[in-house]
Amino acid sequence: MSFRASDLVELRQRLNGDFSSIESEVLGEKASSLGHHGRQVEKAMGALKAFDAAPGTPEERIVLLKAAAREVWKFLVQRELCGLRDQREVIRQYGIPPEVMVRLGAIER
């Protein structure tokens, strides 16, 4: 699964409007970035689910949680930059657990 069509509806509608070629290219780059970050979230969620199916050490799981939180945070920031601000559907579609959501934006020293 690459990127969600629901994430790109507004961008596609804009591409069909009367925009200059530069604006169209910018919107295309935004769509590409959303797709990239969506795939990264899918990978992170897949790694976490695979770990939970065959658990290892708690420390290994924490590493996966932190990685998932980083990827989800980057994806949600990119969505907001594109004007897509409702996160509920994305959280549901990608199966993002609360323990990942509470780590969004956390910076460790």
- Of the candidate ranges 14-18, 19-23, 79-83, 91-95, the one whose mean pLDDT is the lowest: 14-18
- Mean pLDDT, rounded, of the chain: 86
Mean pLDDT of 65-75: 96
Question: Which one has a higher pLDDT value, 36 or 15?
Answer: 36
Q: What is the pLDDT of residue 64?
A: 96
Dump the DSSP string for 25-84.
HHHHHHHHHHHHHHHHHHHHHHHHHHHHHS---HHHHHHHHHHHHHHHHHHHHHHHHTT-
Residue % of the chain over a pLDDT of 70:
82
CA 27 to chain centre: 17
Write down the domain spans for the chain: 5-101
Answer whether residue 58 shows pLDDT above 80: yes
Mean pLDDT of 79-94: 92
Mean pLDDT of 37-63: 95
